[in-house]
Structure 1
Amino acid sequence: MQAFTLPDFYMPYPARLNTHVERSRVHSMAWAKEMGMLDAPKPGGGVVWDETALARMDYALMCGYTHPDCDGPALDLITDWYVWVFFFDDHFLEEFKHSRDLVGAQVYLDRLELFMSDTPPEVTNPAEAGLKDLWERTVPAMSDGWRERFIVSTHNLMVESMWELENIDRGRIANPIEYVQMRRRVGGAPWSANLVEYVSAEIPEALAGERPITVLTDTFSDAVHLRNDLFSYQREVQEEGENSNAVLVFERFFDCTTQEAAELVNDLLTSRLQQFENTALIEVPGLMLRHGVPPHEQAAVGAYAKGLQDWQSGGHEWHARSSRYMNEGAVPEGLPSGPTGLGTESLRQLLTPGKLGLRQRVRQHSHVPFQPVGHLPLPDFHMPYAVRTSPHLAAARRNAVGWAREMGFFDSTPGVEAGGLWDERRFIGFDFAHCAAMINADASPEQLDLSSDWLAWGTYGDDYYPVVFGASRDLVGARLLGERLRQFMPIDDDELMPIPANPVERGLQDLWRRTAGPMNLRSRQLFRVAVEKMLDSWEWELVNQAQHRIPDPIDYVEMRRSTFGSEMTSALAKMATMDVIPQEIYQSRVLRELETAAMDYATFTNDLFSYQKEMQYEGEVHNIVLVVEKFLDVDRVTARDVVANLMTARMSQFEYLADHELPALLDSRSDLSAEAKAALTRQADDLKEWMSGILEWHLRCVRYTEAELERVHNAPRSIPDHLPTGLGTSALRAHLPAARVPG
């Protein structure tokens, strides 16, 4: 009996089958035998695979569905790669997951990595033999950029297997955000995307790191993994005792039945597929235009996107047919209903709301803005860390007001009705210096002023974009401002800045000189990238606003880290120790999860406090409470509780990482100096104070209080000069776009 009934999958594209499947079946069986995969022993007796097992799993059929257009030799190579990766997964399970031999597992993985080089060691097992052979057959045909990406993907899917093993050893099930992030690394779909490049077209190197391209890859990867978790739940969780499965993660986190969890996973799968479509149809063409990408590179990006699309539909078809998975009812039985013949398969599918993805589309686009939601009662916050405050706070408060006045934050601004975006009274109530004094308690007076001013500028910019560009849907104007703001962040000292035309430009000009002036060239480059990510995230919000589209949950969580400025803060914190700490260590699971857990706690804090401000007065669609409301189809209080539970889960994860895994990581790294280890420990301590300081600031600040919102938004406004007055014009003035009221 199946663990649950498979949900109604969103199926936007029919699967197609490569004509060379039979040839690859014969080839892959012979290759697996040659590599020693069909007689590799299990520790407890028997073999990992035999010919019958491999034939039943039918990886040639999988690759024929996922790569329907490649030629025979390419399909042979791709099939061999998938035989290898599934053998590695099963071999690793038998050798180490059952025995929980963590030391042996690490040695096994460390050796395996050596085979992604020009001078591999002698082979000692079938996994090593397969990787050595495939590396030599694949890498010479590809660019250096692709090779680097493929090494990272292969490294991740092998090395992050330790995370799964450690969770099994601890009896721990990941929280949902951690799970999606880690599954993207350990699950192998980014690696599959690299192989799509091999058979379709390489991503142009200049575009590989751009958001639209990375979102295509990430949405593809998440959808592949979520689909796999639905089909493999019974085998992995009930038969093999694994706990790295989205259905199980949702079951535990939401305290629901397995069937309910499966439906939620399918909803997230649908949302990720629709995010892929939105990115491919809207963001990718915009990227091509902005960069002036030549036709042959545009064609390469199109081929890559189509290859990912083919993989997605083909992967579903294979899961529905393979003996490896729970798939009863996944393939319709009996005589076909409807027309038959070439191109009619999709017409024979029963069109349901699930297959059309209608439920998620309606939820994303049906929000009614400016509803009088009232104050959202705050949950109990789990905050284990104390607050410290700088002794220089009083002076910083005085200096902050003077700096904001000098930058023009209180002046009448073009594009803002009824005067300036902020006034001095409001700014004093915001008290950015207090926030800076808690998140930088040991800062010098000059450093504290700089931190206060960055907070003020980032918040002003975050308010400025929706007021000036949001209600008018002026995406071009926002893009032009973003391009101008980049000119205020020169890398070379001899680059000239333009004359600032508004407070956002004036503030960035001043901050860049004070911040980047003392930096070396490399630090300036990295910091500029971090600021640019925040600027781009403000434009991302405007695009969603223009589409009246509530973001996909995963996209929202990841982009919120940029819109809040937390990635910029993180980059700035690392500048002082760049010469001491090797930068690659920040890509380790421990440090990456430590940072993102802290970021999520802080951003969700802000969203809980700002819910009424954003929903009732600004008509926003960017708030984690709203995202959860619509995704789960629940009321705002239930959504608030889910968000609070996510915050607690992320904080608990942070605590364990800081108390146990970070010290273990530092102990294991003999290449790190004592100074580097101390600096990394201090950075973890700084994150603790960053979270506690941000929470305390929200508790004390007037920006989000109901009284202040009423005072600001319901105050009488003078009629702007450009609007008509007199008999019959009051209705026009009464219906000014509320999103443009300064807030």
Structure 2
Amino acid sequence: MAAHPYELPLLFQPDFARLSPHAATARERSRSWATEMGLLDRRGTRIWDEPAFESMRIALLAAYCHPDTSPEELDLLTGWHAWRLWLADHVRLVPERPARAYLDGLARFTPEGSARVPAPADPGERALAELWARTVPGTSPGWRRRFAAGTRVLVRGLLRERDLLAGGRVPNPIEYVALRRGSGTASWAAGLIEHALAAELPAEIAGTRPIGMLLDAFADAVHLCGDLYSYRGEGAPGNGVVVLERFLGCDPQTAADRVNDLRTSRLRRFENTALTELPALMEEHGLDAEQRMRVVRFVRGLREYQAGCREWHERCGRRTEPPRPAPSATVPSATVPSATVPSATVPSATVPSATAPTATVPPAAVAVTAVPAVTAVPGTVPAQAQGAVPAQAPGAATPSRAQGPALLWAPGDAPQPIPGAVVTPGFPFLLPDFHMPWTVRLNPHHAAAHRASRAWADEMGMVGATGGLWSGDRFEAMEFARWCAMTNPGAPAELLELMALWFTWVLALGDHFVAEHHARADLVAARLFAGRLPLFMPLDGGATPEPGGCVERGLADLWARTAPHLPPGRRSGLRDEVLACCAGNLWQLGNSVRRRIPDPIDYIETSRAAKGAGGLGARLLLVIQRLELPDELLDSDSMRELRRAWADHIGLVNDIVSYRLETEVERQPNNGVLTVGSFLGCDLQTAVDIVNDQLTACVRSFERIVRDDLARGAEVAAYVEGLRDWMCGNIAWHVGNRRYLDPGARAVPRVPRNTGLPPGLVSAAPAPSDQGLQASRDRVAT
């Protein structure tokens, strides 16, 4: 077998791997179990034979990843890992089988309640049914729901990965990370860790954002570590080294170093979250001592899994022989005060690495990166973390950084364009050509909607008044109603007006957080403000308190206009989405106050709510189109995935166009281009191109779901057409609008070639005045 074309980078590992004393017994039992289930002989197709099974050493994987479990529990965990790896090879090696129907059918064997499972028809179903029956006794309904949902995500992720591999398309790095979170083992295995250590997460915190951030960082670190070892054994969609090598146009060594940087960054994020976010989370939810110990054991189990999985890669030949180790190196450690969540390192039972060098640093040392007063350390690239762009060509590789991409945003330094690079007027980069296969249309009632929205904004106090958010000329230049007319070209006049008012309010909400709370770094006042909003959306139509400002006044008015025409279920759903939009803005404010650059995947997911396009926009679209789609269809996996692709496209277009406003004027880290650049350590233009590539992936995913997964029907077709109109109209408005350009810019940006936009749809509005958000800018500057 050919050797790897790179030396394995120095691997940062906060903990040593430990081996269960029951490893040998688990190995013997796993072989007998796999034979009994039929995993080693599938009627001649032979996905696995016994030598292949033995070479993978799956029992060793379980013994390293779960070193403190009983012999019976280790047998169960070994079976789960064997089933997952067998399923991945089944999907990869048997493409002619109707994989979609088969994988969807596996959900029947993980019922959340007491439903009986059908008779299994093949080894995969037989093994899953047997494992589920042994796993669920003694578990709570909440854990069963989460683990069953995680198994469905895993199955769908394997299918998406197979489709991508079959199509031969190399995903962009951000798309790849999201793909691996679905198809990789680690995200799903977190549920097994809860079971193995009797560390079931309390229901109060299981679905919270800090737990999600912890699990995402854990999964990314595990998957990227595997990529460094499996370079020769996987295709482009399944290996991060190949993805970076091809997408960034660099050599394998540089790509491997970059993957190692990302892995280090994700380990740092994991430790930072465990040491700083979880104690506050447990305190906030009032967990008792027993619940807190479960959380501690869970974090310990995640650390053990990370270390054990790396050790298994060293000793196992599932994909290929390991790459050559790099020369030994050391990483200086640091110390901080002890934290609530302790390290899981057990020095008395450590197992030295078989091949690769490892830089072991106490977990506490990693947490220093979260302290606001951080000084640049040799080997890091602070300018990139701050958004500044090095003087290098787009896509050029940067030197390897032992500590990974930086986590902190330094608002004193505004991003700069690449010296000498060609840029679009008004932007610090070349605006990309957005892929858009549909043609924008303009609603004929746009002028009336604009007059109504301006009068309403004046009445609510959003424009020109004391405590207002915008000056009159700025409001006119932003043309909110024109955005609604482009995104809803078929809406009748009265409903287009309602949509214009709602999204004037959404933009006012976002600008309120920037003008009132971001400048003062006042999270307490922001939470108090958010806590009052439900009072202005009474589900029973009751009275509301006196509004305290233009945002509260506008919400009370909109609720009175909208809620009476909705059935009770849709009414509560609309309220939930409004609150989710506010919560997303709160999360972004927290990033700004803490100067924390978010993980791009976490950022994208939160932006669906914060920018109003995700749940709120989808619900309002149903109102505008007067559609009565059943809840079971709207809540189906296919429809959820469709809405995610749509909402991500809406938000990422905004991130490209608003980059200068958000990073230079508002000086906040909540921008998709910035998060991608920091996460990958690449220059500004490359980050823009990656975000644009993700936009293209969203359109392709949208069309694939419509073609392959959605139910047919006139109302579904109308809803899909409405989402398409929204995507192409959103690009047209952003490209031609002056809201996000520097107030001094005079040039109108070009229209991308592939949008199909008539020249007349590009706004010729004058540049907005220096009023409106100027007060916020002045406060930030001082």
Q: Give the TM-score of the pair, scaled to structure 2.
A: 0.80
Alpha-carbon separation, structure 1, partners of 2:491 and 2:49: 60
Distance of aligned partners of 1:634 and 1:42 in 2 relative to their CA distance in 1, 3 Å threshold? same
- Residue 68 of structure 2 is matched in structure 1 by 69
Q: How does 1:420-569 map to 2 (within 5 A)?
A: 420-494=468-542, 496-567=543-614, 568-569=616-617
Q: 2:348 is matched with which residue: 329, 335, 342?
A: 342
Paired residue type of 1:273:
L
Match of 1:723 in 2: none
Q: Give the Cα separation in 1 of the matches to 2:360 and 2:687.
A: 31
For residues 43-62 of structure 1, the aligned pairs below 5 Å read 43=45, 48-50=48-50, 52-62=51-61
Structure 2: how far apart are the matches of 1:33 and 1:587?
36
User: Does the alignment pair 1:648 with 2:696?
Assistant: yes
- CA shift, 1:614, in A, is 2.1
**Partners of 2:172 and 2:656 in 1: how far apart?**
20
Aligned partner letter, 1:456: T
Q: How does 1:133-282 map to 2 (within 5 A)?
A: 133-200=130-197, 201-237=199-235, 243-282=237-276
The answer to whether the 8 A contact 2:658-2:740 is kept is: yes
Structure 2 distance, partners of 1:571, 1:735, is 34
Mapped partners of 2:35, 2:662: distance in 1: 61
Q: Is the 8 A contact 2:645 2:698 kept in 1?
A: yes
- Alpha-carbon distance in 2 for matches of 1:337, 1:292: 38
CA contact (8 A) 1:60 1:79 kept: yes
Compared CA separation, residues 155 and 381, structure 1 to 2 (3 A): closer
- AA aligned opposite 1:694: N
User: 2:305 — aligned with what?
Assistant: 311
Hey, what's the Cα distance between the residues in 2 that align with 1:289 and 1:490? 30
Q: CA deviation at 1:159?
A: 4.5
- Shift in CA distance, 271/536, structure 1 to aligned 2, threshold 3 Å: farther
Q: Which residue of 1 aligns with 2:383?
A: none
**Structure 1 position 455, deviation (Å):** 1.5
C-alpha distance 186-639 of structure 1, shift in aligned 2 (>3 A): closer
Of 400-409 and 166-175, deviating more is 166-175
Report percent identity of matched pairs: 37
Distance 1:337 1:395 in 2: 65
How has the CA–CA distance of structure 1 residues 141 and 397 changed in structure 2, closer, same or farther, with 3 Å as cutoff?
same
Contact 1:321 1:331 in 2 (8 A): no
Identify the residue that residue 667 of structure 2 maps to in structure 1.
619
Distance 2:105 2:508 in 1: 51
| Deviation sequence 1:661-707 (CA, Å, 0-9, x none) | 523334xx5xxxx6xx2222222222221122112212332223334
CA distance in 1, matches of 2:551, 2:60: 56
Q: Contact 1:617–1:739 at 8 Å: present in 2 too?
A: no
How far residue 68 of structure 1 moved from its aligned partner, in angstroms, is: 2.5
Aligned to 2:449: 396
What does 1:692-703 align with in structure 2 at a 5 Å threshold? 692-703=728-739
Q: Distance in 2 between matches of 1:33 and 1:637?
A: 53
- Which of 257, 276, 291 is the equivalent residue of 2:285? 291
How far off its partner does 1:92 sit? 4.2
The residue identity in structure 1 corresponding to 2:729 is G
Aligned-pair CA distance for 1:435: 0.6
Residue matched to 2:461: 408
Q: Which of the residues 632, 656, 671 maps onto 1:583?
A: 632
Offset of residue 569 of structure 1? 0.7
The secondary structure found in structure 2 opposite 1:737 is: helix
Q: Which amino acid aligns with 1:395?
A: A
- 1:606 aligned partner: 654
The whole-number CA distance in structure 2 between the counterparts of 1:531 and 1:717 is: 23
Shift of 1:133: 1.6
Is the 2:462–2:550 Cα contact (8 Å) retained in structure 1? yes
User: Matched residues in 1 for 2:181 and 2:665: separation?
Assistant: 37
- Rounded Cα–Cα distance in structure 2 between residues aligned with 1:332 and 1:259: 11
Report if the CA contact (8 A) 1:102-1:165 is conserved. Answer: no
Question: How far did residue 404 of structure 1 move?
Answer: 0.9
Q: Is the 8 A contact 1:10 1:357 kept in 2?
A: no
Contact 1:120 1:132 in 2 (8 A): yes
1:379 pairs with 2:435: no
CA drift at 1:70: 2.3
The letter for the 2-side match of 1:685 is E
Higher helix share: 1
Structure 2 counterpart of 1:17, from 16, 19, 23: 19
Determine if contact 1:38/1:48 at 8 Å carries over to the other structure.
yes
Deviates more, 1:109-118 or 1:682-691: 109-118
In structure 2, stretches of 5+ residues that fail to align are 333-345, 362-378, 381-399, 418-425, 747-766
Q: State the partner residue of 1:726.
A: none
Q: Deviations over 1:285-304 (max 9, x none)?
A: 44334433444333333333
Given the superposition, is the C-alpha separation of residues 216 and 401 from structure 1 closer, same or farther in structure 2, using an over 3 Å criterion?
same
Q: Contact conserved, 1:436 with 1:452, CA < 8 A, in 2?
A: yes
**Secondary structure at 1:487 match in 2:** helix
Residue aligned with 1:362, SS: coil
What is the match of residue 727 of structure 1? none
Question: Any idea what SS the aligned residue of 1:485 has?
Answer: helix
- What do the CA deviations read for 1:214-251 (whole angstroms, capped 9, x no partner)? 333333333333333332231223xxxx7433333333
What displacement does 1:736 show?
Answer: 5.5
Secondary structure of 2:481's aligned partner: helix
**Corresponding letter in the other structure for 2:404:** Q
Equivalent residue in structure 2 for 1:663, among 675, 682, 707: 707
Calculate the aligned-residue CA RMSD, in Å: 3.7
C-alpha change, 1:69 and 1:645, in structure 2 (3 Å) is same
1:90 is matched with: 89
Match of 2:372 in 1: none
**Matched residue type, 2:439:** A
> Cα gap change, 1:640/1:93 in structure 2, threshold over 3 Å: closer, same or farther?
closer
What is the distance in 2 between the residues matched to 1:187 and 1:387?
38
Deviations 1:540-575 (A, max 9, x none): 222221222222222222222222211121233356
CA distance in structure 2 between the partners assigned to 1:713 and 1:266 by the alignment = 46
Q: Give the total of aligned pairs.
A: 693
Secondary structure of the equivalent of 1:379? coil
Q: Quick check: 1:629–1:636 contact (8 Å CA) kept in 2?
A: yes
- The answer as to whether partners of 1:39 and 1:47 remain within 8 angstroms in 2 is yes
Structure 1 residues 318 and 504: alpha-carbon distance in aligned structure 2, compared to 1, 3 A threshold:
same
Partner in structure 2 of residue 119 of structure 1: 116
Is the CA contact (8 Å cut-off) linking 1:372 and 1:616 kept in structure 2? no
1:101 aligns with 2:96: yes
Does the residue aligned with 2:315 lie in a helix, a strand or coil?
coil
Shift in Å, 1:167: 3.3
Amino acid at match of 2:730: I
The answer to whether the 8 A contact 1:66-1:313 is kept is: yes
Aligned partner letter, 1:211: R
Structure 2 CA distance, aligned partners of 1:178 and 1:378?
A: 20
Q: Taking structure 1 as reference, are residues 72 and 372 closer, same or farther at Cα in structure 2, changes over 3 Å only?
A: closer
How far 1:587 moved relative to its partner? 4.4
Aligned to 2:77: 78
